[in-house]
Structure 1
């Protein structure tokens, strides 16, 4: 019996030794893992704040470069339409007008098309067809803007000049929007090219928003006897309206900042005209066309101020769009939980 007690005591001591050895072995591994997590956290935090610092530095530099024009013209810079590099008189109103009108009208045309395409992909198309169409739509957003511009100059603008604009002038010329000569390159051409460019962006984001709608909402509507259209109208679109609005605003930010394609088809004339057939100008276009040729400090400063306005507007628009899309994603996660 004593031998059994002795053997059991020895066994317990051996187990304690093994446990202590295991604990000592694990302590360095745990410390290394904790140190690695801390380093990773610090690195990611540094990178996140670096992006904000770069953005703040860009705003600071652009504001500094814009200061001569701000001091020289003040608020008159955004309310005057005179732009004369020789006389050093600069007013950005035609460029603000061109950017706002072309972007907003392109958005009004693109949003219904994008919502319809997203609904077709998510709710109507068979699974295999939807999985084929969705990547094709996303690929359209990856086409370089200069390609859209070349297509616009070589194909769309001549077609507008020979077919669409003469028709509009003949039948609707009494409306100020369609009064004028068929130039081809015009505000109308810029609106069409922007519409084509933002449709893939709005469609892709709207599709993700519609996919976030809980399946239970659709099933509840169907259980109550709703048709497919009634389900879309009652259960799907109301749930995703904030995200769809965010997608549209994100498309607006893309349209406002577009440079190359618009520069190639808008005509680049600093006009403020109600007619969509007249050439016009936008903020990105005037920067692209004149910055390399600016010979005076005030001219460069005026262009930098236009860039500052464009940057601030784009940041506000994109931030608002992201906030709306984030709110839909949060609601979807809350519903899933």
Structure 2
């Protein structure tokens, strides 16, 4: 195409020429569709008829899919409330503070299970949070590019391993390792605190906390990476421009701006730890007692439901187990909602990620 040009004199550059306005319009103007092509497209659009019905049907279908989530949650909550009416009417709020669990005499108290669930989850957080944040910092800020992909994949792969596989690995590997090598050291160094005391059978709150920490590590690490990635690069550059080291840049420019999102990821990991069933059931010892010793057997809310629901011989027994499930359901919903809110508070203003 032969473009027209016009001479535009610029001081200091007398020989500079630029395309004329007509040339510019020719360059940016979209291609012209021939009459034959327009007729073919027009015939297709007229021949297919009106699509109003299809559009409305698709919109209602998508709305139904979205509302089905609310319906499922409402049905679960309704069923749990209805099935636990016997214990709600008999024990009331004292059900959650009672220490006795005696199905023979019909005396039920859920506090030992609440205590075991909270203690094992707290141990899991104490182990998983530093490790998860360290992994996220390394992958996001310090990892070489050739290693970043495989390491991220392996970290997220931990979340895909079935719970029962974690439980089997814990029984045959983790429990003997703790009983023979780790627990004796803890008893010797921290036995005076009462948290680690003999006898030690390997099955207890500590074992459940360790296996839970491995299971929630990919959740906390992945969300922490997303939150750290959402921190603008200008924050990093500004801190480095002031003469900060890499560690100071990560601590002041990244972690400080991402702290709310990191807390949200930790709470989301806590929600996973509270509801975990199979792996915890296999290593916690399943004994409804309240003890300060982390090496002693305990019981969790999910474990007691899994172990005893098939053995429930009367309506009151089943109602007590279902009410424990109701309490676990409510706690999990609230914890996950709080975590999502905190993560959204950080990532809502994040810039789009580069390809």
Alpha-carbon shift at residue 178 of structure 1 (Å)? 1.2
TM-score, scaled to structure 2: 0.85
- Per-residue CA shift, 1:132-154, capped at 9, x if unaligned? 10011000110011111111111
> Structure 1 residues 87 and 221, CA, compared in 2 at 3 Å: closer, same or farther?
same
Residue 19 (structure 1) shift:
9.3
Which residue does the alignment assign to 2:260?
242
Is contact 2:95-2:108 (8 Å) kept? yes
Quote the offset at 1:279 in angstroms: 0.5
The worse-fitting range, judged by mean Cα deviation, of 195-204 and 158-167 is 158-167
Question: Which of 262, 266, 269 is the matching residue for 2:284?
Answer: 266
Match of 1:153 in 2: 171
Cα separation, partners in 2 of 1:109 and 1:164, compared to 1, 3 Å: same
Q: Deviations over 1:299-327 (max 9, x none)?
A: 00000000000001001111111111122
Which of these residues, 325, 329, 344, is aligned with residue 311 of structure 1? 329
Distance in 2, Cα, partners of 1:196 & 1:43: 40
- Given that 1:214 and 1:335 are in contact with CA atoms closer than 8 Å, whether structure 2 keeps it comes out as no
Contact conserved, 2:83 with 2:322, CA < 8 A, in 1? yes
Q: Which is further off, 71-80 or 206-215?
A: 206-215
The whole-number CA distance in structure 2 between the counterparts of 1:308 and 1:30 is 52
Native 8 Å contact 2:227 2:262 kept in 1: yes
Segments of structure 2 that go 5 or more residues without pairing to the other structure are 1-36
The equivalent residue for 1:76 is 94
CA distance in 1, matches of 2:60, 2:351: 28
Instruction: Determine the C-alpha separation between the residues in 1 that align with 2:105 and 2:156.
Output: 47
Superposed CA deviations along residues 186-212 of structure 1, whole A, max 9, x for unmatched, are 111111111111111111111111112
Question: 2:147 matched to 1:129?
Answer: yes
Specify the alignment match of 1:327 in structure 2.
345
Determine the C-alpha separation between the residues in 1 that align with 2:40 and 2:135.
64
SS in 2 for 1:178: coil
Change (3 A) 1:37 1:223: farther
Q: Does the 8 Å contact 2:288/2:299 carry over to 1?
A: yes
**In 1, distance between residues paired with 2:127 and 2:49?**
58
Q: Structure 2 matches for 1:87-126, cutoff 5 A? A: 87-126=105-144
Find the aligned partners of 2:48 and 2:231 in 1 and give their Cα distance: 44
Give the TM-score taking structure 1 as reference length: 0.89
Query: What's the counterpart of residue 5 of structure 1?
Result: none
Partner of 1:11: none
Asked if the contact 1:99/1:256 (under 8 Å) is kept, the reply is: yes
Q: CA deviation at 1:216?
A: 2.1
Q: Is the 8 A contact 1:186 1:280 kept in 2?
A: yes
CA–CA distance in 2 between the matches of 1:19 and 1:120?
57
Q: What pairs with 1:164-203 in structure 2 (closer than 5 Å)?
A: 164-203=182-221
Regions of 4+ moved over 4 Å? 18-30, 333-336
| Unpaired stretches in structure 1, ≥5 consecutive residues | 1-17
Contact 2:197/2:293 (8 A) holds in 1: yes
Q: Give the aligned partner of residue 8 of structure 1.
A: none
Instruction: Render the CA deviation track for 1:106-146: whole Å, top value 9, x for unaligned.
Output: 11221111011001001001111111100110001100111
Distance 2:143 2:48 in 1: 53
How many residues are aligned here? Answer: 320
1:208 aligns with 2:195: no
Q: For the aligned residues, what is the CA RMSD? A: 2.3
User: Partners of 1:30 and 1:103 in 2: how far apart?
Assistant: 60
CA distance in structure 2 between the aligned counterparts of 1:274 and 1:127, rounded to whole angstroms: 46
Structure 1 residues 274 and 30: alpha-carbon distance in aligned structure 2, compared to 1, 3 A threshold: farther
- Show the counterpart of 2:30: none
Seen in structure 2, the aligned counterparts of structure 1 residues 170 and 224 have a Cα distance that, compared at 3 Å, is: closer
Question: Is 1:61 matched with 2:79?
Answer: yes
